[in-house]
Amino acid sequence: MKLKTHEANRHFAKPAPDTTGTLIFGTDAMRVALKRQDLLKNLLGESAEEEMRLTRMLAGELRQDPAALSDAVKAQGFFPGPRAVFVEDATDALADKIIPALEDWQSGDAHVVVTAGNLKPTGKLRKYFEKHPFAFAVGIYDDPMSRDEVQTELSKAGLNNVDGEAMRDLEALARALDPGDFRQTVEKLSLYKLGDPSTVTPDDVQACAPASTEAVLDDLLHATAEGRAPELGPLLSRLEAQGIAPTRLAIATTNHFRTLHMAASDPEGPNKGIFRARPPVHFKSRDRMTRQASRWGASKLETALDMIIEADLTLRSTSKAPQMALIERTLIRLAFMAARG
């Protein structure tokens, strides 16, 4: 059966006993691997490897020995407890080698965990798992971590006492980092608070957060909003050398100035507006963006947004104008607007 995100998270956290198998697929191998680790740990417990209740095999091995999966699923170990067979890097071309083992599955056999890259909805392997009444198909997509997933990572690390502002900071980090990097940050935070029963604060989060997330792009946006035009050229050169597309710069600039406009328009002031922003503003930028919103004002920010959107539309049109030069000119005009106050 096909599982939606919240259903999949429940399945990974508490797998149903005596079920046939789980297919986990997606373009991001790290995200797929993290979910697979959670599933196997919660299905088998901590000592599965030592007790030989987990069998690993590469999907390619099935080409040489198609019966290997069926044999592993049926094999009985020396230790009691649930068993699993993990098949890594499957493709739809191997569906005919994997499906027979699942069709021959009986109660008491090992749970089959299959990981794969991006699988088409019409592919044989994915369709089989989605239609099977006692097997599960889970697509892992490049969406930011949900609040529930963030809280799950915190709970696993023993961080159950987090104040509201620190939680907002952690959610902002979860949007900026890959899940694996966020998990490492949470582990670092757990060690940082080891033996300290006090509430996790924003200062604790800041002490453990990675030193930079797209720092050059952040520097460019802040320099633009703060009127520091001479700094834009070198920053743009660095971003261009890193392969950042002009359209991505336009999107990032639009998002930054929309957040400033929302904050400047908040009836309770820019400080409250920045805290209400969705997605949350990264805690390291919060004070700076509050000052930027106050300096610009809502009316001036509306003019700025019109300029950015016009540039974005030109970039996406059939215009032959040099794209990086176009976005650079727009950012310089914005910086001069900011400098005039």
> How distant, in Å, are the alpha carbons of 39, 74, 209 from that of 109?
17, 5, 44
Which of 293, 237, 246 minimizes the C-alpha distance to 268? 293
Q: Where are the beta strands (DSSP E) in the chain?
A: 21-25, 54-58, 84-90, 111-116, 135-139
**In the block, which residue shows the tokens 């097997």?**
135
Could you give the CA distance from residue 98 to residue 114 in angstroms, rounded to a whole number? Answer: 9
Domain range annotation of the chain: 5-140, 147-208, 213-340
Could you give the CA distance from residue 200 to residue 160 in angstroms, rounded to a whole number? Answer: 9
3-state secondary structure 182-193: HHHHHHHHHHHC
Give the DSSP letter of residue 146: P
pLDDT at residue 213 in the model: 41
The b-or-e profile of 100-112 (16+ CB within 10 A means b, else e) is: ebbeebeeebbbb
Per-residue pLDDT of the chain (341 residues; tens, 9 = 90+): 999 888 998 999 999 988 999 999 998 888 899 899 999 999 999 889 889 999 999 988 898 898 999 999 999 878 888 999 999 999 999 999 999 999 999 999 999 999 999 899 999 999 999 999 999 999 998 777 788 889 989 998 999 999 998 998 898 888 777 787 788 899 999 999 999 999 999 989 988 887 554 678 889 999 999 999 999 999 998 888 777 788 889 988 999 999 999 999 999 999 999 988 887 888 778 899 999 999 999 999 999 999 999 998 888 776 666 889 999 999 999 999 999 86
AA identity, residue 274? I
Q: pTM for this one?
A: 0.56
Instruction: Please name the fold of domain 5-140.
Output: Rossmann fold (3.40.50)
**Does the domain formed by 213-340 have CATH 1.20.272.10?**
yes
Joined together, the tokens standing for residue 9 give 């998270």
> How distant, in Å, are the alpha carbons of 12, 18, 74 from that of 108?
20, 7, 8
At 330, which helix (H) or strand (E)? helix 323-340
pLDDT at residue 319 in the model: 62
